[in-house]
Amino acid sequence: MEHEGRDYALWSIAIVLVVLFALIPVLWLISISLKPPDELTDQRFIPQSVSFDNYKSLFEGGIDDSPFIKPLINSIAIALITTVISIVLASFCAYAIARLEFPGKRLILAGALAIAMFPPISTVGPLFDMWRALGLYDTYPGLIIPYLTFSLPLAIYVLVAFFREIPWELEQAAQVDGATPFQAFTKVIVPLAAPGVFTAAILVFIFCWNDFLFAISLTSSDASRTVPAALAFFTGESSFTAPTGSIAAAAVVVTLPIIVFVLFFQRRIVAGLTAGAVKG
């Protein structure tokens, strides 16, 4: 009994440490985003009084004058468009790799792996030059194209791992039972594949949402600048105030929805991140 009590205490400490480690920066951001300007430098972890002015200033001036609304829209739109295209292309490819026999299969997987390791900075210069010549600089497609390239390996690997687990015989069984090939696919295979596809979509979205290097290199204005890049160029209310409060508030706005999302779909994300890793 005594032994068990000690174990229980040790585990509790370990768990509390892990949770604190993960949460401190988030709580800290919330704290400074709520501090009024005169308390910003009080060095306290918990704000003494609460003000929502930093949040108000983010959205002041509507879409034209707010430093934050346009980048937020850009971030969401670019990440969503990339996710849809990436998942469609990756699904075709992963289906072929999981189900069909054809030469070049291993080469595609190896190539995808190589691209996952590819340093994005090596493509920034050529893309900058090409995009300016092609008129893609500072546009949505200018960011969507590189995001697509670098998210496809991730999507393909996750989807191949999931598609290999699908009992494809069920498709034939349904056809034997009188379903048309189309019915067999939509009624049997699609529901089985959906969780994997959804998981891959979450991971691709987070990947695009997180990018900073392409976002600052290939954009120059609010026309296509995403939140991470916009945050790096935030300025204070006047040239004498530091933008700390506004950055913290903007950071909280883009972080909380993702946290809720991550918490809600944690099982899927864990499954996706570890897909294939164990088959070595």
Partner 1 sequence: MEAHATKTSSRTRSERKLGWMLCAPAVLAMLLVTAYPIAYAIILSLQNVDLRFPDENSFAGLSNYVTVLTSSLWWTDVFNTVFIMVVTVSIELVLGMAIALVMHRAIFGRGVVRTSVLIPYGIITVVAAFAWQFAFAPETGFVNNLPLISEEMDWFGGRFSSFAVIILAEVWKTTPFMALLLLAGLVTIDGQLYEAARVDGASAWQRFTKITLPLMKPAILVALLFRTLDAFRVFDTIFIMTRGALDTESVSILGYNQLISRLNLGLGSAVSVLIFVCVFLIALLFVKGLGTKLEEGRPGG
Residues of this chain, 215-274, that bind partner 1 according to CB under 8 A: 216-217, 227-228, 231-232, 244, 247-248, 251, 254-255, 258-259, 261-263, 266, 269-270, 273-274
We find the least distance from the C-beta atom of residue 103 to partner 1, in angstroms, to be 7
Return the residues of window 73-92 that contact partner 1 according to CB under 8 A. Answer: 89-90, 92
Nearest CB to partner 1, comparing residues 106 and 178: 106
Total chain residues near partner 1 (CB under 8 A)? 105
The verdict on 58 binding partner 1 (CB under 8 A) reads no
- The token duo for 211 is 């990018």
Interacting residue with partner 1 among 97, 188, 201, 249 (CB under 8 A): 97
Interacting residue with partner 1 among 68, 137, 163, 207 (CB under 8 A): 207
227 HSE (CA, 13 A, CB side): 24
- Given a contact cutoff of 8 angstroms between Cβ atoms, the answer to whether 236 and 198 are in contact is no
Nearest CB to partner 1, comparing residues 22 and 176: 22
Amino acid at 21: F
Cα–Cα distance, 146 to 174 (Å, whole number): 40
- The token duo for 74 is 């850009």
Interacting residue with partner 1 among 58, 152, 174, 189 (CB under 8 A): 152
Cα–Cα distance, 45 to 53 (Å, whole number): 19
- Given a contact cutoff of 8 angstroms between Cβ atoms, the answer to whether 78 and 143 are in contact is yes
Residue carrying structure tokens 């699609």: 190
Task: Residue 219: name the closest of 121, 156, 127, 157 by CA.
Answer: 127
- Sign for the pseudo-dihedral over CA of 39, 45, 46, 52: positive
We find the least distance from the C-beta atom of residue 133 to partner 1, in angstroms, to be 11
Nearest CB to partner 1, comparing residues 40 and 80: 40
Residues in Cβ contact with 165 at an 8 Å cutoff, skipping those fewer than 6 apart: 196
We find the least distance from the C-beta atom of residue 35 to partner 1, in angstroms, to be 9
Return the residues of window 100-129 that contact partner 1 according to CB under 8 A. Answer: 100-106, 108-129
6 HSE (CA, 13 A, CB side): 3
Other beta carbons less than 10 A from residue 246's beta carbon: 23
Return the residues of window 158-177 that contact partner 1 according to CB under 8 A. Answer: 158, 161
Interacting residue with partner 1 among 180, 183, 186, 210 (CB under 8 A): 210
Q: Segment near partner 1 (CB under 8 A), from 37-45, 60-68, 133-141, 182-190? A: 37-45
Interacting residue with partner 1 among 6, 9, 28, 190 (CB under 8 A): 28
